[in-house]
Amino acid sequence: MREEALKRQLARVRRFGVALLGALASLAWLLAVRAFEALAEAARTARAIGPRESARRAGWLLARAAGFALASLAALFVAGAFIAARVAGSFSRVAIVLLFVVAVPLALRHLLRPRVPRGVATAFNALVVLALLCANGRDAGAVLRRHGDWFLGWRSDASAMTTRARIALASRLLERFDPPRDMLSHELSPEETPRYFGPWRPDETPYPAERTWVHWYHPLGGARTLPLFESRRFGAARPQPRPAECELGHCGVDLAAPLGAPVYAIADGVVERVERDAGEGGRAGRYVRIAHVDGWVTRYIHLSTIRRDLRPGMHVAAGETIGAVGRSGVDENFPHLHLGLSRKSGAMSELYVDPEPFLRVWELR
């Protein structure tokens, strides 16, 4: 029964793809015909009005074309990021983006041309960008940061990296991330020290009340490693089921590093779980889970080795080595650290949080 349902679903997908390609081919043919007619009309007009007027009209036409190109490019990045956050397949992403950003505005221009002024296609794309940005606020910056470079795939050449850097800059300006004070390195007053380094068990002695520095570190030493590709970021497509706060996708970030590179505790905390058996850990492999102040929890997944003396209930300090980068649980993948960040919202529930903005501001060990 499952095979028959899968065959029917694949048949529906193929029919949809054929219909979509047919619609795009018809639109391309219509645009080609319109372009040829426009060129012929422009040639006849140029002979009639003279070179000066022809140059003025040509400049105006180029300005309109540049406006449409800029509006379409902005819509491609912004609307494409929102589409990529909800659609997994590359073919489906490309088809929907082209249909939404190119086909629809040009079709509107063709259908409404006798009744509306020129520039309706440019205005449509500009309104789409403004609507997405205004309706989603800072979330638009987060979506653009996570999915804005989806069309680059695994490319890491100079032009791809330049494009990624520009998208990242635009997303940071839109997102305006402001981390909580407690999740940045800061100095504690004597009154705050016991609360931060607790909770304390009955047989433990709290730290003396004195001014103390609290540190939050990037989990990998050296350079500020960040997820490079869209498929390695928070919210990337993953097998279901997945929590809603992860966009039904990746609940963490994958940080590439050499096999065996040390992994450090992000902040002071208490070890909640240590899984040394890669088989028992499933797709997570070997991992460590640490609880921090105010209900924050970090997970260090796919480790190759874990420190021998590490055990549940043990206090660890910020920057303390807890294991080494590996690929346990995902042997077909490159060595990397999967970092998960969540916050307890109740006795039995946690909400995952995108750790990438924090990785941009935490200290380097």
Q: What is the pLDDT of residue 140?
A: 92
Q: What is the pLDDT of residue 164?
A: 93
pTM attached to this predicted model: 0.78
Q: What is the pLDDT of residue 198?
A: 59
Q: What is the pLDDT of residue 293?
A: 85
Q: What is the pLDDT of residue 9?
A: 64
Q: Which mean pLDDT values do the consecutive 10-residue runs of the chain (365 residues) have?
A: 61 68 73 72 66 69 80 88 88 85 79 70 86 88 93 90 92 90 83 64 70 89 90 91 90 95 95 93 93 93 96 94 94 89 84 95 90
Q: What is the 3-state secondary structure (H, E, C) of the chain?
A: CHHHHHHHHHHHHHHHHHHHHHHHHHHHHHHHHHHHHHHHHHHHHHHHHCHHHHHHHHHHHHHHHHHHHHHHHHHHHHHHHHHHCCCCCHHHHHHHHHHHHHHHHHHHHHHHCCCCCCCHHHHHHHHHHHHHHHHHCHHHHHHHHHHCCHHHCCCCCHHHHHHHHHHHHHHHHHHCCCCCHHHCCEEECCCCHHHHHCCCCCCCCCCCCCCEEECCECCECCCCCCCCCHHHCCCCCCCCCCCHHHCCCCCCEEEECCCCCEEECCCCEEEEEEECCCCCCHHHCEEEEEECHHHEEEEEEEEEEECCCCCCCCEECCCCEEEEEECCCCCCCCCEEEEEEEEECCCCCEEEECCHHHHCCCECC
Q: What is the pLDDT of residue 230?
A: 93
Q: What is the pLDDT of residue 101?
A: 83
Going along the chain from its start, the domains and CATH numbers come out as 2-152 (no CATH), 186-359 (2.70.70.10)
Q: What is the pLDDT of residue 42?
A: 66
